[in-house]
Amino acid sequence: MSRPRRVVTAALVVLALASIAVACGDDGSKVSSGSKQSTTTDTSAQSYVGLTKRQAILKADSTNTPWRITREDKETFMVTQDYNPARINFEIDDGKVTKATSG
């Protein structure tokens, strides 16, 4: 294989791997999830505590903040262990967010 072909092949492999990495950025563990990047100012996890489940979801979606529910009442959901600092993890009791963490 000639040198220019190897360079093109290597570039295509890198591009393919980058595409796979971007596609895998969505962790697939969405019990319920918005999968958009965060682009706003007041999306600290603590700002969600006290909101109803619906209000928290609407707030996260309106600010393009990824989110997931890790526990609701007595049911704990399986989630991946990847760390996404933009994502908000909600714990919900009686329809209200009682704990919200980043990651």
Domain membership flag for residue 64: yes
What is d(CA 41, CA 22) in angstroms, rounded to the nearest whole number? 24
What the block records as the tokens of 61 is: 């979606």
Give the phi and the psi of residue 16 in degrees, each rounded to 5: -65, -45
Tens digit of each residue's pLDDT (9 = 90 or more) over 44-76: 999 999 999 999 999 999 999 999 999 999 999
- Band (98; pLDDT cuts 50, 70, 90): very high
* pLDDT of amino acid 34: 46
Domain, as residue range, for 90: 29-102
How many domains is the chain partitioned into structurally?
1
Residue 97 domain-assigned (yes or no): yes
Confidence class of residue 89 from pLDDT cuts 50, 70 and 90? very high
Instruction: List the one residue out of 23, 35, 22 whose CA is nearest residue 67.
Output: 35
Mean pLDDT of 31-44: 47
pTM: 0.58
- How many of the other CB atoms lie within 10 Å of CB of 34? 19
- Let me know if 96 is exposed, middle or buried by CB neighbors in 10 A (0-12, 13-18, 19+): middle
CATH number, domain of 68, equals 3.30.10
